Structure formats: structure tokens, C-alpha cells
Amino acid sequence: MSKKTIIGILISMFFFGAALLSGMSWAAGHVSLKGLVTDSQGNVLPGVKIIATNTATNVQYDTVSDSKGHFFFQELPAGFYDIKVGMAGFKTVLRKNIRIGEAKTVTLEFKLKMLGSLEDITLVALEEAKTGGVLGGVVGGVRKKEAYWQPVAPYPSAYPKHDTEEYDRIYENRYLDALNNPLSTFSIDVDTASYSNIRRFIKNNQFPLKDAVRIEEMINYFSYDYLLPKKKYPFSINTEISSCPWNQEHHLVHIGLQGKKLETKQLPPSNLVFLLDVSGSMQSPNKLPLLRTAFKLLVRELGENDRVSIAVYAGAAGLVLPSTSARQKDKIIEAIDKLRAGGSTAGGAGIKLAYKVAEDNFIENGNNRIILATDGDFNIGVSSTSALVRLVEEKRKKGIFLTTLGFGMGNYKDGRMEQLADKGNGNYYYIDNLLEAKKVFIDDMRGTLFTIAKDVKIQIEFNPAKVKAYRLIGYENRMLEKEDFADDTKDAGELGAGHTVTALYEIIPYGSKEDIPGIDKLKYQETTISPQAFKSKELMTVKLRYKEPDGEKSKLIEHPLVDKHVKLDAASENYKFSAAVAAFGMLLRDSDYKGDSTFESVLKLAREGKGKDFHGYRAEFIKLVEMCSLLKDINK
């Protein structure tokens, strides 16, 4: 057996072993009935429920279609069967009196027609409430035979291709000389969507698309052990400098912000509008079904003074649940459970409706927020990203923030989701599994929902007597002009309660002989370094501006950094782990700036910086790096 074959087997076992073994159990016996389920356009439908009812005994056997639309029944007793096939958002199909023999395999194909309007979906939901579901429950006293239920194995090769996924182009930040460019200005970013999205690719045995890798979101997926802020400020500033792990001739500067933490009694009441995509593209198991579960987790965390409204959109937009007290959790969860997918995607209409509902139920001095959950695939009405961004920009002035949650794969629109959250004064997350939903809605709930500072900007002034050139790692789509820093009309990022924000600069020290891009000599002025700069021990000054959540005038904080010549071995766990994540991101992007980074060096650094890791997120990161190392060997 070749080395590549062995590695391939190990990778499959690494993430899919238990599920794969259970999913293969059906192959042990004779397959009596198999088939394929597609929609009317021929697209395969995973997660469809198929029930075979023996007409003589009334015993039911059921299964679900796998990720390629295939289904299987093994060793059905000979006889005649009624086959019922159905899925949320589609009309149920029934075929009667299908003869099943003892030896021959019967093969069937089913084409399901999608429900075309929101009104159809509502009627189906009402009908399900009466009957216990399209295919669920026990009907007419029929016994349900569980022994023949077949789990669907998540085979790596069975996942849909990512041909229509869209990611905005990233042009990596380059080195700038500190003499002619002494200021570096950017908006903070506490989005984490990129990390959970690339995790989804890697667990599918694939390297992520380069433009899906936003390094700042990978770094900020993890929390860091920073000093808590003093009472005067909503956050603390933490800085550290040491050798750059991937280039020993350079230095790496670590900047960390720690937001203040809010106790339960300090939390303002929330007016939340869940804006949920129930269009046909959300029918997959990793979309609407996962969405329903995620939002039920959030509802259980809400306080008695909070309120929830639920708006949905498909072919049209509609209000499923008017503003309801979180004391009525059962009522809210019941409304979530009834959601079904079908129809086209009127995203713009849904956003307009959600803002109207939020305005109608606005809580003064409260947390007024829309939580948009979708795959981002809007296709009717106001659907262009620019038009939606303008709409969100107009509405944020009313004090209503917008958080976006991405779901699914295949047709995912990452850039649109990020821009909407950015311009809506909110955050952007990608939910790829139930544990990620727990992280966003339970572990990090206060930071997800409650903003403690808005329009947070960072401006670094480098001392050219200490720094020859610098490069900000990541934050490419968060860069600001130097004039934007003191301009209070310029929008920037928000910081949630308890959140940490981390940024890294790679520094080429003064006196280095390394060539860097420069500019021609100026005709009308000279650029020189002042004598005070040479006398100063400061490498740089970190300046921050922020506004209170309901404020319009920014406040300024300054924090100088002195190089204490700390060796990499003596650097903090915060420093080592954030550097490991940055190096991993550069490897995934095949960055021109990755230097000596390898998956092996990333693993060493991450293990040294793992720290306490209460939730296991850093341990999971290490396993993802290990898997990429194996994938690299396979692809040689």
C-alpha cells in the first residue's frame, strides 16, 4: 500500500471514523430498495425522508437521502409497499403498491416540486401542526420499525462542490517604509466567520479558497488572556514585541484589546428581530435545520426583559412572530420549529421589514438588534450588495445594529454577509455546526449581542529611528486613511462586552539592509528623522479612538511601546498562539510573506501557546493544522 493511500485512510478516520462506520452498516445486507431524489430541475436533494409502508402489515420502514440524494433500504420483507417521499419546502410524493421481492433490488427515482410561495409554506406549516409533520409521527396507529433506519455517512467526497461560492478578492498588505508612511490606520474587526468557514473546508478534506482566508478573523476567533480594563475605559490596551517566528531578522508586534465584561444585572433589555432566510436554497440540513437549532439555543439564554420578533423571507417577506416577551420562550421556540424552506430569495424586502419591526418596538437605552441568518444568496428585489449596504447604512443611524450569521455551502456569498454586518454596526459569524452555534450564542453571547464601544479605530505612529518598515497582518478590508482617524463621521468597528481584539505587525528594524519599496526623492520638501526620535526608547505609539454605544463624539487613548528585547522562547502564550494562527493563515493563502513558516513550525508554536484552553478551541486549531499537514503530503 502506498504512502499516499495510508495517509488518505488516516485523514478519513481522523474526522469521520465513527460516522463512516455507522453509515456503512447498510452495506452488510441485501439492498431491497434504493433510489435517487432530486428537485424538478434535477438537482440532488440530501436529507429527504423516505417512508416505506408494508400494505399488508402496516409496518413502516424509514430512511433519509444522503448528500448525493441516494437512499437505501436493506432486507425489506417481500410484499407490496406504499413509498412516501417528502421534505420541508417540497410537495410530498406518494407511490403505491410497489412490489418488493426477496432477491431483486428495486430502483426508484423521485422528483420533488418546490413550494413556490411564502403562503404555501405557511399552509404546509399549519397542516404539519395538525398532523404531526409531513412525514413525522404515527398515523392511524401504524407501528414504526426503527431497526431499518439507516444513518447517512458524511463521506468527504459526497459534499457539494463550491463552484458558486463568492469571496471578495484580498490584496495582502505590503511593507511600508516608516519614514514616508509613519501612520498606519485601521478599524477593529471582531468577526470570526472566516475561521469557522475554513474549518468547514478542511474538515471536508480540502484547502480553503485563498480569498476565504481573512487572517484577522482567524486570530480573533480565539480569546486571549489580557488585563481587564480600568473603570475609566471600556477596554484595556496590551502590547508585546519579540522575534518574528517566520523571519528571525524581523520583529513581531502583538496588540491586544480587552473589552470590559458585563454582569447579568448590567445587561440592558434587548429588542431582537430574527430575520431568517426560508428560501429554497436554505433547505439543506446544514442550513435551515441547523439555523432553527441555533436560534433555539439563543432564546433559552434571553432574560425576562428581552423581546423577540421573527421575520422571514422567501418569495416575499412576512412577519411570523410579532414582538414577544422572552418569558414566553415556548411560544418563540414553537414559531422557530414551524419554519420551512421554499421559494426564491427576497433578501432586500426582508431587511426592510426587519428594520421596520425593530423601529416599531425600539427600546430606549436598550439593545436593539437585527440578527440576519442566511446563505446570502439573494436573487429578487433589492439584491445587489451595494444597494443592500446603502440600505443598512441609512438604518444604522437609528441605533439599530445588524449581526449576520452565515449558513451552508455551495452557493454561499461570504463578501455580502461581511459587508452587511460591517456597515450595520454588527458582527459576522459563520455557523458550520451546533458547537459553533453554542460558541456564538452561549459562550460569547454578551459579546455577540451587547456593544460597549462603537467606531473603534486604531492608529499606529512608528518611530522611524527604530523601525525601517512595517506590515499589518490581515485587516485588508478594514484599512482607513490617516485622516479618517480623527473624523467622527467615519464608520469603524464595534467592540462587544468581554470581547478581545488582536492585531499583529511585522517589523523590519531600523538599520536593516533589506530592500523595501520606496518613493522617488521629493522636489519640494525633505523628510528627515528628528533628534528626539533617536533619543526615544519608544518603538511606536498606539492610539485608539472610540465612541460610547450611544455617543457621537470620539474619545482618544494613547499607549507607547518600548522594545524590551524579549526572546521568542520567553514570549507569552498570547503572543505565541496568535503568531501561530497568523502563520497558518499565510500558509493557507500561500502568502508571499509566509517566510520560513511550515505546518510543523505552526504546530510547535501553537502547542507552546495553547495555555489553559477551557473550551478546547485551541486544541481544535492544532488538529486542523495537523490535518492540513496530511493533506499537503497527499497533494505532493
Mean pLDDT of each 10-residue bin along the chain, 636 residues long:
49 41 42 88 81 90 83 89 84 92 89 61 44 35 33 33 77 96 95 95 92 97 94 92 97 97 88 92 86 94 95 83 96 93 72 92 94 78 68 85 90 87 91 93 89 95 97 97 96 93 97 89 89 94 94 94 95 98 98 97 97 94 96 76
> Does residue 485 contact residue 543 with C-beta atoms inside 8 Å?
yes
Same structural domain, 418 and 503: no
Give the total residue count for the chain. Answer: 636
Alpha helices in 220-340 (DSSP H): 288-301, 329-337
Same structural domain, 437 and 537: no
CA distance 133 to 22: 27
Of 164, 157, 198, the closest CA to residue 436 belongs to: 198
pLDDT given for residue 139 in this prediction: 30
Residue bearing cell 415556548: 330
Same structural domain, 374 and 496: no
Radius of gyration of the chain (CA): 27
For residue range 149-200, list pLDDT tens digits in order.
Answer: 232 333 233 334 445 788 999 999 999 999 999 999 999 988 999 999 999 9
pLDDT given for residue 305 in this prediction: 94
Same structural domain, 247 and 339: no
- Which of 114, 134, 164 delimits the end of a domain? 114
pLDDT given for residue 107 in this prediction: 94
CATH number at residue 214: 2.60.40.1230
For residue range 33-45, list pLDDT tens digits in order.
Answer: 999 998 877 878 8
Instruction: Let me know if residue 571 belongs to a domain.
Output: yes
Same structural domain, 209 and 74: no
pLDDT given for residue 509 in this prediction: 97
DSSP state of 393: H
Entry pTM = 0.74
Same structural domain, 371 and 485: no
Strands 183-187 and 451-462, sheet pairing: antiparallel
Domain with 87 in it: 3-114
- Which of 97, 114, 131 delimits the end of a domain? 114
CA distance 213 to 594: 14
CB atoms within 10 A of CB 433: 15
CA distance 255 to 473: 12
Which residue type sits at 496? Answer: G
Phi, psi of 288, deg, nearest 5:
-60, -45
pLDDT given for residue 88 in this prediction: 63
> Does residue 257 contact residue 495 with C-beta atoms inside 8 Å?
yes
pLDDT given for residue 1 in this prediction: 52
Same structural domain, 477 and 593: yes
User: What is the total count of domains within the chain?
Assistant: 3
pLDDT given for residue 391 in this prediction: 81
Grid cell locating 152: 447517512
Q: Which residues lie closer than 8 Å to 444 by C-beta, 6 or more apart?
A: 496, 498, 499
Same structural domain, 196 and 318: no
CA distance 345 to 73: 35
pLDDT given for residue 483 in this prediction: 97
Same structural domain, 296 and 399: yes
Strand partners, 114: 90
Instruction: Let me know if residue 136 belongs to a domain.
Output: no
> Does residue 276 contact residue 403 with C-beta atoms inside 8 Å?
no
CA distance 384 to 303: 36
CATH number at residue 33: 2.60.40.1120
3-state secondary structure of 210: helix
Instruction: Let me know if residue 397 belongs to a domain.
Output: yes
Grid cell locating 71: 437512499
